């Protein structure tokens, strides 16, 4: 969403997350690898080879005994090697299991290691739930602060302030003498134009103050705290490293600025950023457990669960959260993670419920209960809402991406603080006069989802009372369809204006340098549209109950159309159009209503919305922002649908110089260094000899440099003329020659290879499923070239007629 300009990186990265640089602890097994000539057939053999074999890449066989710092770790803005990480973890696990048979202490360690994942999940759930509760309470308080102040204590929000006064009746529970609006406080009266103007000005003032604080805090302390964070989390989960993105400063600043941004009245929600907050919690808590601190793959399992936790606390939907993580965010989601994320999501939901931020024992503001079933005829308007949602989603993504590009390419991008202040002022200025834009997004949605009962005093329920309902009338009657009255017509006009305003302001708001979620604004747009259509249908049914459409199921006095359900379907459709979520969205909505009954309308609308939006472009908003920022993300959902072969994608191309390779013996340290210096590749294949091009293994640039550097410093006799040996047994050499530098330990002995004829769809599948960083290409057993993840992304960009150089990182 918001890539901080480059000058930020140095300042931000330097003082954040030093803990993440913790060096890996390398265990040494000291076993030698076996080569072909001496392989044994004993399958139960436990002798181990170096290289990819677990500890391998992080181990120097000889003569160094100390681990080399930095070996086996990754640089910032690089992609991890999933296979290596997972293998490392399996090795660790095997080691612990083996030891556990020897002593009781080791056994206890093994048990605690096995349960540490669950403990971590518990902590993540508790911490995220508590933070979400805090954010809810603080945002509620600050939002009310814009309107007025509680005289008995400024720390009470409007509702709590009036709770303490028992004199108010049910209808007027939000009007009590203890709560005074700013106008009332300053002018002494709550009526009149002057008080209104004072209220208006104070509203704008507070909005400006909150948004200014938010953007300044983000800029000063944690540039990564802006945006929703979901595109970056998707990228991180796919194996990319962005140091500090999930660090403690980001967490602290994001939590504070999220409250400020939501309270400032900007058209943004807190739901997306809650996912980021939960992931920060998880990442920080990972440092408590060696198993997760030291392994990038294991940590990503925890982060996947944390994404589920985020949605669970945002919507009070644990199952929906897990499916969201599975469907939308995660890259590698084993079944174990499914179970654990479910556990964490539940813990978080119950923590939030016991904090009870809304004072109603509910997890969310917009819990709904509908009473009337829907009729098959209503599927038509529901599908209409789906089409609206799809169109809006496609339009929003295009407009927002275009606006973000303008921001990036023009001088606008240099003044983020001013941009935020202008948008905040504009929002406050336009929003205040209209009560539906003045209230917060969540409140608006809650009101729109609500089913009108007779007692309801809200404007949206301003129906005419056709027949004085006797007190003994049945409950069903009190919800019967009625003709719209004055109040409702006013509400409809306001809603229509609110719709246009929300649609426009959201486009320029999402992507600013403050924490901003997209769920609530998108749902608000859909809910307004849905409610408008719902009321329209209701009136149509009321005045035409004899027409062939309504005859038979919608007699006068019956409650046949529920405008609240339309609002909900519309919200789902719009959110679906923007994010392209499907199952998880339906399940989240199902958990809000609790009735299987309403799944079919939701499903019809979401499905339509996705199809319509996909017709205009297959990317959801998060994928679009990933592409905008040039992250190396290999979309797991989309099929690679082109008939190119591995040979078309690999480097070197025909016109390029030959592939830079190392030979397994015969090169000197000086030659190796010169080769590494002259190229920018992140790894080098090792071959038997330049003539045969038979592949032996693969060495990472970083490991190679660190090892040579370390050897030069700490190992005697290693000079530029020393030979570098990757074979197991060094060749005999002249007595006066310097001792050889043996680097078999850092070589990956099992590099992945494909043949040059392998179709790219299969290659892409391999990259995705195994989480590779690079893959070597052979022809008839001879090394031919190399394909990296970046090569694939560039190739895909080229096929889609996009600029292949938009892929920024490796």
Chain residues 563-582 in contact with a second copy, contact rule CB under 8 A: 582
The answer to whether 522 and 570 have CB atoms below 8 angstroms apart is no
Q: Which residues contact 414 (CB under 8 A, 6 or more apart)?
A: none
Q: Which is nearer to a second copy, 345 or 533 (CB)?
A: 345
CB 499, min distance to a second copy, A: 29
- Please give the C-alpha separations between residue 140 and each of 135, 143, 204, 514, 576, in angstroms, as whole numbers: 8, 5, 17, 18, 27
Bridging pattern class, strands 753-755 and 695-700: unpaired
Using rule CB under 8 A, residue 637 touches a second copy: yes
Using rule CB under 8 A, residue 41 touches a second copy: yes
Using rule CB under 8 A, residue 749 touches a second copy: yes
- Interacting residue with a second copy among 647, 699, 704, 793 (CB under 8 A): 647
Q: What is the DSSP annotation of 608-623?
A: HHHHHHHHH-S--HHH
Residue 422 CA to residue 428 CA, distance in Å, equals: 10
Bond from prior residue into 63 cis (ω within 30 degrees of 0): yes
Chain residues 100-159 in contact with a second copy, contact rule CB under 8 A: none
- Interacting residue with a second copy among 63, 433, 476, 594 (CB under 8 A): 594
Sign of CA dihedral 14, 20, 24, 25: positive
Chain residues 49-88 in contact with a second copy, contact rule CB under 8 A: 49, 51-54, 83, 86-87
Write out the E strands in 41-124.
none
- Interacting residue with a second copy among 65, 102, 166, 654 (CB under 8 A): 654
Segment contacting a second copy by CB under 8 A, of 71-79, 155-163, 669-677, 688-696: 688-696
Q: Which is nearer to a second copy, 28 or 438 (CB)?
A: 28
CB 47, min distance to a second copy, A: 8
Chain residues 331-370 in contact with a second copy, contact rule CB under 8 A: 335-336, 338-339, 342-343, 346, 349-350
The answer to whether 49 and 56 have CB atoms below 8 angstroms apart is yes
Q: What are phi and psi of 94, to 5 degrees?
A: -60, -40
From first CA to last CA, the distance across the chain in angstroms is 19
Q: Which is nearer to a second copy, 551 or 769 (CB)?
A: 769
Using rule CB under 8 A, residue 587 touches a second copy: yes
The answer to whether 374 and 562 have CB atoms below 8 angstroms apart is yes
The answer to whether 152 and 178 have CB atoms below 8 angstroms apart is yes
From the list 431, 419, 410, the residue with the least C-alpha distance to 494 is 431
Residue 752-781 contact track with a second copy, rule CB under 8 A, x = bound: -xxxxxxx-xx--xx--xx-------xxxx
CB 233, min distance to a second copy, A: 18
Q: Which is nearer to a second copy, 144 or 748 (CB)?
A: 748
Q: Which is nearer to a second copy, 262 or 319 (CB)?
A: 319
Using rule CB under 8 A, residue 324 touches a second copy: no
Q: Which is nearer to a second copy, 246 or 662 (CB)?
A: 662
Helix (H) or strand (E) holding 92, with range, is helix 82-100
CB 101, min distance to a second copy, A: 14
Helix (H) or strand (E) holding 710, with range, is helix 701-714
Helix (H) or strand (E) holding 695, with range, is strand 695-700
CB 125, min distance to a second copy, A: 12
Q: Which is nearer to a second copy, 94 or 173 (CB)?
A: 94
Q: Which is nearer to a second copy, 469 or 582 (CB)?
A: 582
Q: Tell me the number of residues near a second copy by CB under 8 A.
A: 101
Segment contacting a second copy by CB under 8 A, of 221-229, 254-262, 432-440, 588-596: 588-596
- Interacting residue with a second copy among 314, 326, 488, 725 (CB under 8 A): 326
Using rule CB under 8 A, residue 688 touches a second copy: yes
- Interacting residue with a second copy among 784, 786, 787, 807 (CB under 8 A): 784
Tokens of 652: 């070197």
Q: What are phi and psi of 687, to 5 degrees?
A: -120, 165
Q: Which is nearer to a second copy, 267 or 304 (CB)?
A: 304
Using rule CB under 8 A, residue 782 touches a second copy: yes
CA atoms in the 13 A half-sphere facing the CB of 156: 17
The position carrying tokens 């609002």 is 567
Using rule CB under 8 A, residue 382 touches a second copy: no
Query: What angle is formed at CA 403 by the lines to CA 397 and CA 408, rounded to 5 degrees?
Result: 125
Segment contacting a second copy by CB under 8 A, of 11-19, 158-166, 291-299, 596-604: 596-604
Helix (H) or strand (E) holding 782, with range, is strand 782-788
Q: Which is nearer to a second copy, 334 or 717 (CB)?
A: 334
Tallying the residues shown for the chain, one arrives at: 810
Chain residues 291-310 in contact with a second copy, contact rule CB under 8 A: none
């Amino acid at each position: 969403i918001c890539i901080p300009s480059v000058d930020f990186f140095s300042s931000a990265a330097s003082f954040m997350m030093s803990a993440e640089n913790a060096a890996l602890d390398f265990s040494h097994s000291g076993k030698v690898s076996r080569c072909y000539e001496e392989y044994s057939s004993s399958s139960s053999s436990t002798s181990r080879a170096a290289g990819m074999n677990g500890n391998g890449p992080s181990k120097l066989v000889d003569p160094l005994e100390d681990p080399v710092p930095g070996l086996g770790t990754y640089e910032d803005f690089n992609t991890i090697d999933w296979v290596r990480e997972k293998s490392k973890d399996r090795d660790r696990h095997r080691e612990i299991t083996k030891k556990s048979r020897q002593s009781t202490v080791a056994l206890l360690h093994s048990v605690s290691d096995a349960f540490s994942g669950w403990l971590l999940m518990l902590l993540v759930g508790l911490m995220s739930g508590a933070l979400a509760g805090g954010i809810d309470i603080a945002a509620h308080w600050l939002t009310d602060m814009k309107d007025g102040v509680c005289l008995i204590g400024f720390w009470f929000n409007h509702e709590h302030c009036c709770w303490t006064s028992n004199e108010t009746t049910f209808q007027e529970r939000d009007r009590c003498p203890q709560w005074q609006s700013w106008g009332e406080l300053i002018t002494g009266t709550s009526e009149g134009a002057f008080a209104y103007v004072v209220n208006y000005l104070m509203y704008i003032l507070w909005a400006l103050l909150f948004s200014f604080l938010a953007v300044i805090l983000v800029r000063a302390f944690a540039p990564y705290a802006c945006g929703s964070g979901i595109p970056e989390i998707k990228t991180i989960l796919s194996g990319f490293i962005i140091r500090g993105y999930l660090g403690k400063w980001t967490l602290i600043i994001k939590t504070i600025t999220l409250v400020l941004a939501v309270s400032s009245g900007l058209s943004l929600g807190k739901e997306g950023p809650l996912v980021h907050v939960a992931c920060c919690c998880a990442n920080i808590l990972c440092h408590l457990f060696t198993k997760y601190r030291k392994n990038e793959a294991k940590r990503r399992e925890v982060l996947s669960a944390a994404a589920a936790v985020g949605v669970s606390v945002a919507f009070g939907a644990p199952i929906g959260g897990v499916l969201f993580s599975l469907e939308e965010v995660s890259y590698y989601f084993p079944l174990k993670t499914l179970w654990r994320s479910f556990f964490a999501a539940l813990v978080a939901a119950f923590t939030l419920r016991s904090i009870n931020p809304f004072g109603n024992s509910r997890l969310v503001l917009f819990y709904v209960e509908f009473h009337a079933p829907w009729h098959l005829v209503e599927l038509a308007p529901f599908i209409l809402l789906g089409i609206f949602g799809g169109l809006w989603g496609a339009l929003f993504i295009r407009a927002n991406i275009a606006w973000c590009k303008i921001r990036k390419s023009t001088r606008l991008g240099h003044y983020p603080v001013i941009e935020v202040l202008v948008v905040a002022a504009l929002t406050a200025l336009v929003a205040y006069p209209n009560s539906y834009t003045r209230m917060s997004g969540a409140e608006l949605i809650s009101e729109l989802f609500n089913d009108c009962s007779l007692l309801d005093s809200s404007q949206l329920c301003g129906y005419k009372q056709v027949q004085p309902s006797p007190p003994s009338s049945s409950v069903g009657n009190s919800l019967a369809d009625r003709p719209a009255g004055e109040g409702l017509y006013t509400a409809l006009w306001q809603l229509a204006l609110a719709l246009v305003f929300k649609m426009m302001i959201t486009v320029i708001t999402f992507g600013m340098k403050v924490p901003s979620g997209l769920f609530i604004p998108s749902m608000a747009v859909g809910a307004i549209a849905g409610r408008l259509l719902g009321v329209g249908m209701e009136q149509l049914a009321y005045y035409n109950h004899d027409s062939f459409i309504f005859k038979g199921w919608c007699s006068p006095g019956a409650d046949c159309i529920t405008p609240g359900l339309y609002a909900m379907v519309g919200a789902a459709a719009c959110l679906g159009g923007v994010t392209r979520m499907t199952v998880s969205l339906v399940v989240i909505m199902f958990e809000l209503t609790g009735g299987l009954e309403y799944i079919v309308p939701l499903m019809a609308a979401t499905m339509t919305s996705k199809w319509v939006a996909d017709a205009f472009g297959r990317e959801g908003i998060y994928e679009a922002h990933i592409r905008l920022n040039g992250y190396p993300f290999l979309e797991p959902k989309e099929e690679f649908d082109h008939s190119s072969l591995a040979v078309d994608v690999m480097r070197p191309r025909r016109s390029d110089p030959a592939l830079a390779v190392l030979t397994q013996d015969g090169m000197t340290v000086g030659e190796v260094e010169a080769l590494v210096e002259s190229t920018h590749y992140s790894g080098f294949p090792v071959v038997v000899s330049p003539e045969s091009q038979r592949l032996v293994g693969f060495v990472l640039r970083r490991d190679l440099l660190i090892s040579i550097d370390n050897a030069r410093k700490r190992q005697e006799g290693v000079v530029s003329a020393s030979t570098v040996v990757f074979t197991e047994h060094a060749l005999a050499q002249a007595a006066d020659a310097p001792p050889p530098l043996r680097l078999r330990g850092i070589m990956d002995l099992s590099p992945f290879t494909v043949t040059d004829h392998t179709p790219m769809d299969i290659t892409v599948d391999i990259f995705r499923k195994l989480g590779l960083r690079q893959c070597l290409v052979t022809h008839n057993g001879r090394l031919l070239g190399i394909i990296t993840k970046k090569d694939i992304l560039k190739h895909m960009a080229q096929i889609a007629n996009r600029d292949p150089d938009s892929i920024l990182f490796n």
